[in-house]
Amino acid sequence: MPEEPKANQRLEIAHVLFIDIVGYSTRLTDEQQGLVDRLNQAVRSSDEFNKAAATGRLKKIPTGDGMALIFYNSPEQPVECAVEISRVLKHHPDLPVRMGVHSGPVSAVTDVNDRVNAAGVGINVAQRLMDCGDAGHILLSKRVAEDLQQNGRWRPHLHDLGEVEVKHGDRVHVFNFYTGDAGNSAPPKKLSQARPEQPSAVSLAERAAPKGGRFSICVLPFVNISGDAEQEYFSDGISEDIITDLSKVSALHVVSRNTAFTFKGKAVDVRQVAGQLNVSYVLEGSVRKAAGRVRITAQLIDGSNDSHIWAERYDRDLRDIFAVQDEISHAIVDALKVKLLPEEVKAIEHRGTDNVDAYNLYLLARQNYATGFESDARRNEAIIRLCRRAVEIDPNYAEAWALIAMAEMLLRSSGSRGGDGGLAAAERALELNADLAEAHAVKARIFSEEKRHDEASREIQTALRLDPESHQVNKCAGLLKFRQQQIEEAVAYWEKAVALEEGDFGSSGLLITCYTALGNHEAARRAAEITLARAEKVLAHDPNNGSAMGHGSDALAVLGQRERAKDWMARALLIDPENVTMRYNFVCALANHLNDKEAALEMLGPAFETMGIGLINHAKIDPDFDCIRNEPRFKAMLAGAEARLASDGGGRSAGNT
């Protein structure tokens, strides 16, 4: 006989966000798992997701190729979460995701494994809405849209698509939600097919700026055709600066540098890029630099039909490079018939320096930073030398001062350099440009080491306000929250840092620590898989990289590959025995995941003899060390390290693991 319905089973009105990966079933099995892991990572980077989870007002239901997120407080929650996820996914054009949102009744049910799950019309309709969309779409039910229309913040982003027939002959009224940097403004193909009498051949340019004329553009990395791979830094620098210039124009939405550079070195189809990123236009070009001359070609292409809107070749003396960059930016603005505000004209023409030699040195240093790893002392010394020479040439070059500050701070973490940990350089940068987010982030880390927590919090909040999409700023914010033992908040920033920069294995390694401390072993395992994959990618072309082996061995230990983890440690210690942060991460693996306290303490001894105050402060609160914290040897080594620093004058440091 069928089971009688339980009298106490209760319906609740919930607010559901349904998510899936477009084309999931056509992917190979190993690709499918990787896509799901990356989607989970993007979802966990959402502040709204983390706030709801922290208060216990969120239910998460995996669906194989996606998930349903059930919120209970407000219909704004799933939409806010969808927008945050969409913004992160703009950096991952190869991860096509669609979303649907509905408010409706949901009830608790018990599945075959005796786990409490959820079902109901609220979930079913959210899924039907999602099924109407293509990659990038955020589709809302009429009920949700009517709730949001009461708030002026949401109203401009709601676009009525009318009714459409869905599964089982039901009809739903669909609204498309999109902003300049989230969602997909194109009409869903299913709706266009359902209404053949309505014109569907709307250009991408028209779709991206339906109101207010705000166009969207992706600047692809300019190709280095100098015949010298060492000139790559220069072509990358030109591309990055054009992205920065165009981002200052309020009438343009510009795809971020991190997203655009995922296409670097690849043969691309411009229409496909435009479709993946939901942009109107694509700028591509090439750079040849030789014998004091530079030749730059650039072309602006309409993403809807692959036609050239504008193209030009510049053959100039290298010292005219700034003028060429200005001309390219102004030409794009003119081609799109965008009117610049007076302050935007000034912003585009402001470059930090007017000296080409200083600029060239800074580009070299910036390339070193972007392609290296924080604990690489030789890299940090090289950055300082390059930027010091740049500020000798132009003492008012704020960006160069900020990069000096970052490198000096990181060197102090290894104990290999004295000084003020970059504070003077950071303050000089801010004297010259008070809106430089990275300089505020460096100051925040330095203040944190001095236990000036209120000042550190103010600095990092300023940095986040100035550039919330900065990988460096989010990474710094995560570290500050961790040091303040606000682990759940640290998770949100590190998840975002991991999503913003595909080469960052350090932040994903620190997520292993956070999720283990929070008791979320499934999430810790996912973080370990990401860390290992990224570390292996680095080691494939740099097999002696101690930083990658440090975080990678910890990931291997979490994943149960004990012998391989130990092999990595043994090899790394032969190659780079003085690498303090590498040893630190080996201790985390040994103490917390390999259950070998004696080996952990042996490994920690030489590290405590040289580490700076940044890592020492980290060790004091690191939950990975909780299992050895009360050991007499640990206490003695910690006390000895603190006494050494006191005798050295207690120099500042801002170390990171």
| Residue 76 burial by Cβ neighbours in a 10 Å radius (0-12, 13-18, 19+) | middle
238 confidence band (pLDDT: 50, 70, 90): confident
User: What tens digit of pLDDT does each residue of 256-295 get?
Assistant: 777 788 788 888 888 888 887 778 889 998 999 887 888 9
- 11-201: CATH number: 3.30.70.1230
In sequence order, what are the residues at sequence separation of 6 or more whose Cβ sits closer than 8 angstroms to the Cβ of residue 439? 398, 401, 402, 405, 426, 429, 430, 433
Is 390's pLDDT higher than 90? yes
May I ask the CATH architecture of the domain 502-657? Answer: Alpha Horseshoe (1.25)
Any bridge partners for residue 98, and if so which? 20
User: What tens digit of pLDDT does each residue of 74-98 get?
Assistant: 889 999 999 999 988 888 888 999 9
- Give me the percent of the chain exceeding a pLDDT of 70: 87
| Segment 479-493 mean pLDDT | 90
| Segment 593-611 mean pLDDT | 90
Q: What is the pLDDT of residue 396?
A: 94
Return residue ranges of the chain for CATH 3.30.70.1230.
Answer: 11-201
Any bridge partners for residue 285, and if so which? 298
The mean of the pLDDT values for the chain is: 82
Q: What is the pLDDT of residue 332?
A: 84
Distances (CA, A) of 31 to 28, 267, 381, 495, 631: 5, 21, 40, 21, 44
pTM above 0.85, yes or no: no
Least confident of 411-420, 463-472, 547-556: 411-420
| Segment 578-596 mean pLDDT | 89
Q: What is the pLDDT of residue 652?
A: 41
| Segment 571-591 mean pLDDT | 89
Of the candidates 523, 525, 543, which has an alpha carbon nearest to the alpha carbon of residue 43? 523
User: What tens digit of pLDDT does each residue of 104-139 get?
Assistant: 888 755 554 555 556 677 788 899 899 999 999 999
User: What tens digit of pLDDT does each residue of 458-475 get?
Assistant: 999 999 988 887 888 999
| Segment 424-440 mean pLDDT | 93
Structure-block tokens of residue 421: 């940990």
Is 208's pLDDT higher than 50? no
| Segment 186-204 mean pLDDT | 53
User: What tens digit of pLDDT does each residue of 29-59 get?
Assistant: 778 888 888 899 899 989 899 988 888 888 8
Q: What is the pLDDT of residue 602?
A: 92
Which fold is adopted by the domain 215-351?
A: Rossmann fold (3.40.50)
DSSP character string of 42-98 = HHHT-HHHHHHHHTT-EEEEE-SSEEEEEESS-THHHHHHHHHHHHHHTT-TTS-EE
User: What tens digit of pLDDT does each residue of 613-626 get?
Assistant: 778 888 899 999 99
| Segment 400-424 mean pLDDT | 80
Of the candidates 538, 537, 568, which has an alpha carbon nearest to the alpha carbon of residue 554? 568
Q: Rounded CA gap, 118 and 111, in Å?
A: 9
Return residue ranges of the chain for CATH 1.25.40.10.
Answer: 502-657
Q: Rounded CA gap, 237 and 361, in Å?
A: 11
| Residue 87 burial by Cβ neighbours in a 10 Å radius (0-12, 13-18, 19+) | buried
Q: What is the pLDDT of residue 441?
A: 94
Is 2's pLDDT higher than 60? no
Return residue ranges of the chain for CATH 3.40.50.10610.
Answer: 215-351
Residue 375 per-residue DSSP state: T
Q: What is the pLDDT of residue 153?
A: 75
Q: What is the pLDDT of residue 243?
A: 87
DSSP character string of 472-505 = HHHHHHHHHHHHTT-HHHHHHHHHHHHHH-TT-H
| Segment 202-206 mean pLDDT | 35
Is 649's pLDDT higher than 70? no
Q: What is the pLDDT of residue 504?
A: 82
Q: What is the pLDDT of residue 320?
A: 81
- Cβ–Cβ contacts within 10 Å for residue 147, how many? 18
Q: Tell me which of 407 and 306 has the higher pLDDT.
A: 407
Amino acid identity, position 645: L
